[in-house]
Protein backbone atom coordinates (compact mmCIF):
# COMPACT_ATOMS: atom_id res chain seq x y z
CA UNK A 1 0.00 0.00 0.00
CA UNK A 2 1.44 3.45 -0.88
CA UNK A 3 2.36 5.67 2.04
CA UNK A 4 0.53 8.80 3.04
CA UNK A 5 1.68 12.05 1.56
CA UNK A 6 3.35 14.18 4.27
CA UNK A 7 2.31 17.81 4.01
CA UNK A 8 4.97 19.10 6.39
CA UNK A 9 7.05 19.99 3.32
CA UNK A 10 4.50 22.57 2.11
CA UNK A 11 3.11 23.69 5.46
CA UNK A 12 4.49 27.22 5.22
CA UNK A 13 2.95 27.88 1.79
CA UNK A 14 -0.22 25.80 2.18
CA UNK A 15 -2.58 28.66 3.00
CA UNK A 16 -1.14 30.82 0.25
CA UNK A 17 -1.65 28.19 -2.44
CA UNK A 18 -4.95 26.61 -1.25
CA UNK A 19 -6.84 29.58 0.15
CA UNK A 20 -10.06 30.97 -1.27
CA UNK A 21 -10.87 34.61 -1.99
CA UNK A 22 -12.47 36.32 1.05
CA UNK A 23 -15.88 36.56 -0.63
CA UNK A 24 -15.81 32.84 -1.46
CA UNK A 25 -14.81 31.83 2.03
CA UNK A 26 -17.46 34.11 3.54
CA UNK A 27 -20.22 32.48 1.48
CA UNK A 28 -19.10 28.95 2.33
CA UNK A 29 -18.64 29.75 6.02
CA UNK A 30 -22.07 31.36 6.14
CA UNK A 31 -23.62 28.06 5.04
CA UNK A 32 -21.50 26.02 7.42
CA UNK A 33 -22.14 28.19 10.47
CA UNK A 34 -25.90 28.01 9.91
CA UNK A 35 -25.85 24.23 9.39
CA UNK A 36 -23.38 23.37 12.15
CA UNK A 37 -24.49 25.76 14.90
CA UNK A 38 -25.29 23.87 18.08
CA UNK A 39 -23.68 20.65 16.83
CA UNK A 40 -20.47 18.97 17.85
CA UNK A 41 -18.18 18.80 14.82
CA UNK A 42 -15.03 16.85 13.98
CA UNK A 43 -12.63 17.85 11.19
CA UNK A 44 -10.24 15.08 10.15
CA UNK A 45 -7.21 16.60 8.46
CA UNK A 46 -7.72 20.01 10.06
CA UNK A 47 -4.29 21.20 8.88
CA UNK A 48 -3.70 24.91 9.35
CA UNK A 49 -7.36 25.46 10.25
CA UNK A 50 -8.45 27.39 7.15
CA UNK A 51 -12.06 26.33 7.82
CA UNK A 52 -11.82 25.33 11.47
CA UNK A 53 -10.54 28.63 12.84
CA UNK A 54 -13.33 30.86 11.47
CA UNK A 55 -15.91 28.22 12.42
CA UNK A 56 -14.59 28.08 15.97
CA UNK A 57 -14.60 31.88 16.16
CA UNK A 58 -18.23 31.82 15.01
CA UNK A 59 -19.18 29.60 17.93
CA UNK A 60 -19.15 26.18 16.25
CA UNK A 61 -17.94 23.47 18.65
CA UNK A 62 -15.27 21.91 16.46
CA UNK A 63 -12.47 19.48 17.29
CA UNK A 64 -9.66 18.95 14.78
CA UNK A 65 -7.39 15.97 14.13
CA UNK A 66 -4.24 15.92 11.99
CA UNK A 67 -0.98 13.98 11.63
CA UNK A 68 1.14 16.92 10.41
CA UNK A 69 2.72 18.78 13.31
CA UNK A 70 4.00 21.61 11.13
CA UNK A 71 0.56 22.24 9.66
CA UNK A 72 -1.06 22.23 13.09
CA UNK A 73 1.64 24.45 14.59
CA UNK A 74 0.81 27.08 11.98
CA UNK A 75 -2.87 26.68 12.78
CA UNK A 76 -2.24 27.10 16.50
CA UNK A 77 -0.31 30.28 15.81
CA UNK A 78 -3.38 31.61 13.95
CA UNK A 79 -5.76 30.74 16.79
CA UNK A 80 -6.76 27.11 16.15
CA UNK A 81 -8.12 25.42 19.28
CA UNK A 82 -9.19 21.93 20.35
CA UNK A 83 -6.87 19.98 18.06
CA UNK A 84 -5.31 16.54 18.53
CA UNK A 85 -2.47 14.84 16.71
CA UNK A 86 -3.86 11.58 15.42
CA UNK A 87 -4.51 9.22 12.53
CA UNK A 88 -7.84 9.53 10.74
CA UNK A 89 -7.98 5.74 10.39
CA UNK A 90 -7.67 5.32 14.18
CA UNK A 91 -9.61 8.16 15.76
CA UNK A 92 -9.21 8.53 19.55
CA UNK A 93 -12.92 9.07 20.24
CA UNK A 94 -15.81 7.00 21.52
CA UNK A 95 -18.64 5.93 19.18
CA UNK A 96 -21.13 8.70 18.49
CA UNK A 97 -18.94 11.47 19.98
CA UNK A 98 -19.86 13.95 17.22
CA UNK A 99 -22.93 15.04 15.32
CA UNK A 100 -21.09 15.95 12.10
CA UNK A 101 -17.65 15.17 10.68
CA UNK A 102 -15.82 16.73 7.76
CA UNK A 103 -12.76 16.29 5.56
CA UNK A 104 -11.71 18.81 2.95
CA UNK A 105 -9.15 18.11 0.21
CA UNK A 106 -7.68 15.34 2.33
CA UNK A 107 -8.98 11.89 1.41
CA UNK A 108 -6.87 11.69 -1.75
CA UNK A 109 -3.74 11.79 0.42
CA UNK A 110 -4.43 8.56 2.34
CA UNK A 111 -4.43 5.07 0.85
CA UNK A 112 -6.61 3.77 3.69
CA UNK A 113 -9.35 6.31 2.95
CA UNK A 114 -12.00 3.59 3.41
CA UNK A 115 -10.87 3.11 7.01
CA UNK A 116 -10.95 6.88 7.53
CA UNK A 117 -14.57 7.01 6.36
CA UNK A 118 -15.48 4.03 8.54
CA UNK A 119 -13.85 5.66 11.55
CA UNK A 120 -15.75 8.86 10.80
CA UNK A 121 -18.95 6.80 10.65
CA UNK A 122 -18.09 5.16 13.97
CA UNK A 123 -17.60 8.39 15.91
CA UNK A 124 -20.30 10.47 14.15
CA UNK A 125 -24.07 10.24 14.67
CA UNK A 126 -25.61 12.28 11.88
CA UNK A 127 -23.70 13.32 8.77
CA UNK A 128 -20.44 13.84 6.94
CA UNK A 129 -19.82 17.08 5.02
CA UNK A 130 -17.21 18.18 2.51
CA UNK A 131 -16.65 21.41 0.58
CA UNK A 132 -16.15 20.54 -3.07
CA UNK A 133 -15.07 22.94 -5.79
CA UNK A 134 -17.14 22.64 -8.95
CA UNK A 135 -15.55 24.14 -12.04
CA UNK A 136 -12.59 24.07 -14.35
CA UNK A 137 -9.05 24.05 -13.02
CA UNK A 138 -6.56 26.61 -14.23
CA UNK A 139 -5.55 25.47 -17.73
CA UNK A 140 -1.83 25.71 -16.92
CA UNK A 141 -2.21 23.11 -14.16
CA UNK A 142 -4.10 20.75 -16.46
CA UNK A 143 -1.45 21.22 -19.15
CA UNK A 144 1.35 20.52 -16.68
CA UNK A 145 -0.26 17.20 -15.75
CA UNK A 146 -0.72 16.26 -19.40
CA UNK A 147 2.84 17.16 -20.35
CA UNK A 148 4.36 15.08 -17.57
CA UNK A 149 2.15 12.17 -18.61
CA UNK A 150 3.32 12.62 -22.19
CA UNK A 151 6.86 12.55 -20.80
CA UNK A 152 6.28 9.14 -19.24
CA UNK A 153 5.40 10.04 -15.64
CA UNK A 154 1.96 8.96 -14.41
CA UNK A 155 0.86 10.03 -10.95
CA UNK A 156 -2.07 8.47 -9.15
CA UNK A 157 -3.35 9.80 -5.85
CA UNK A 158 -3.03 7.18 -3.10
CA UNK A 159 -6.57 7.89 -1.90
CA UNK A 160 -9.94 9.13 -3.14
CA UNK A 161 -10.70 12.77 -3.87
CA UNK A 162 -13.79 14.12 -2.13
CA UNK A 163 -14.98 15.27 -5.56
CA UNK A 164 -14.74 11.68 -6.80
CA UNK A 165 -16.69 10.55 -3.75
CA UNK A 166 -19.48 12.95 -4.68
CA UNK A 167 -19.51 11.57 -8.23
CA UNK A 168 -19.57 7.97 -7.02
CA UNK A 169 -21.91 8.31 -4.04
CA UNK A 170 -24.36 11.14 -4.62
CA UNK A 171 -24.63 13.41 -1.56
CA UNK A 172 -27.92 13.50 0.32
CA UNK A 173 -27.88 17.30 0.33
CA UNK A 174 -25.88 19.78 -1.75
CA UNK A 175 -25.87 23.47 -0.84
CA UNK A 176 -24.15 25.44 -3.62
CA UNK A 177 -22.33 28.73 -3.18
CA UNK A 178 -21.47 30.80 -6.22
CA UNK A 179 -20.78 31.11 -9.05
CA UNK A 180 -17.56 32.99 -8.44
CA UNK A 181 -15.29 34.72 -10.93
CA UNK A 182 -11.55 34.64 -10.34
CA UNK A 183 -8.66 36.29 -12.21
CA UNK A 184 -5.00 35.43 -11.77
CA UNK A 185 -1.75 36.01 -13.58
CA UNK A 186 -0.27 33.03 -15.37
CA UNK A 187 3.11 33.92 -13.89
CA UNK A 188 1.78 33.40 -10.35
CA UNK A 189 0.55 29.91 -11.21
CA UNK A 190 3.79 29.12 -13.01
CA UNK A 191 5.71 30.09 -9.87
CA UNK A 192 3.66 27.60 -7.83
CA UNK A 193 4.29 24.86 -10.35
CA UNK A 194 7.98 25.70 -10.53
CA UNK A 195 8.24 25.28 -6.72
CA UNK A 196 6.37 21.93 -6.86
CA UNK A 197 3.71 23.23 -4.48
CA UNK A 198 1.28 20.38 -5.29
CA UNK A 199 1.54 16.77 -4.17
CA UNK A 200 1.03 15.44 -7.70
CA UNK A 201 4.36 17.07 -8.65
CA UNK A 202 6.58 15.81 -5.86
CA UNK A 203 7.82 12.67 -7.59
CA UNK A 204 8.11 14.06 -11.12
CA UNK A 205 11.71 13.54 -12.29
CA UNK A 206 13.65 16.80 -12.10
CA UNK A 207 14.71 16.84 -15.76
CA UNK A 208 11.11 16.31 -16.91
CA UNK A 209 9.79 18.89 -14.44
CA UNK A 210 12.25 21.55 -15.62
CA UNK A 211 11.42 20.88 -19.27
CA UNK A 212 7.66 21.08 -18.68
CA UNK A 213 7.91 24.32 -16.70
CA UNK A 214 10.06 25.85 -19.45
CA UNK A 215 7.51 24.90 -22.10
CA UNK A 216 4.66 26.30 -20.02
CA UNK A 217 6.51 29.59 -19.53
CA UNK A 218 6.97 29.86 -23.28
CA UNK A 219 3.22 29.35 -23.82
CA UNK A 220 1.65 31.13 -20.85
CA UNK A 221 4.17 33.60 -19.46
CA UNK A 222 2.88 37.15 -19.04
CA UNK A 223 -0.77 36.29 -19.68
CA UNK A 224 -3.78 37.02 -17.47
CA UNK A 225 -6.23 34.21 -16.82
CA UNK A 226 -9.78 33.95 -15.48
CA UNK A 227 -12.21 31.21 -14.55
CA UNK A 228 -15.68 30.69 -13.08
CA UNK A 229 -16.49 28.10 -10.43
CA UNK A 230 -18.79 27.35 -7.52
CA UNK A 231 -18.39 25.64 -4.14
CA UNK A 232 -20.73 22.82 -3.13
CA UNK A 233 -21.26 22.16 0.58
CA UNK A 234 -22.17 18.47 0.31
CA UNK A 235 -23.72 16.30 3.05
CA UNK A 236 -23.92 12.51 3.30
CA UNK A 237 -25.92 10.63 5.91
CA UNK A 238 -23.61 8.47 8.02
CA UNK A 239 -25.27 5.08 7.33
CA UNK A 240 -24.91 5.57 3.55
CA UNK A 241 -21.30 6.67 3.93
CA UNK A 242 -20.43 3.64 6.06
CA UNK A 243 -22.13 1.22 3.66
CA UNK A 244 -20.23 2.73 0.73
CA UNK A 245 -16.86 2.48 2.50
CA UNK A 246 -17.46 -1.16 3.45
CA UNK A 247 -18.34 -2.07 -0.15
CA UNK A 248 -15.16 -0.38 -1.42
CA UNK A 249 -12.87 -2.49 0.75
CA UNK A 250 -10.55 -4.68 -1.39
Domain ranges of the chain: 7-134+158-178+231-247
pLDDT tens profile 47-101: 889 999 999 999 999 999 998 888 888 889 999 999 998 899 999 999 999 999 9
Between 3.40.50.10470, 3.40.50.150, 3.30.70.270, 3.40.50.1950, what CATH number should domain 7-134+158-178+231-247 receive? 3.40.50.150
In angstroms, the Cα distances linking 10 to 63, 165, 189, 230, 232 are 23, 25, 16, 26, 26
The predicted-structure confidence for 213-223, as pLDDT tens digits, reads as follows 999 999 999 99
0.85 surpassed by pTM: yes
pLDDT of residue 55: 96
Amino acid sequence: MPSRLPFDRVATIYDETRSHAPRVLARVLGILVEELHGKRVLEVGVGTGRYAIPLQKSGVRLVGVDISRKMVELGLAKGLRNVLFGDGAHLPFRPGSFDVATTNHMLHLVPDWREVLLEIARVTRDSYVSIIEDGDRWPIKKEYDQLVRDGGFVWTAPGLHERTLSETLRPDVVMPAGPFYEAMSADAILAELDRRDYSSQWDVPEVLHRDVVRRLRDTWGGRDLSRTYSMDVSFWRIPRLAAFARKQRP
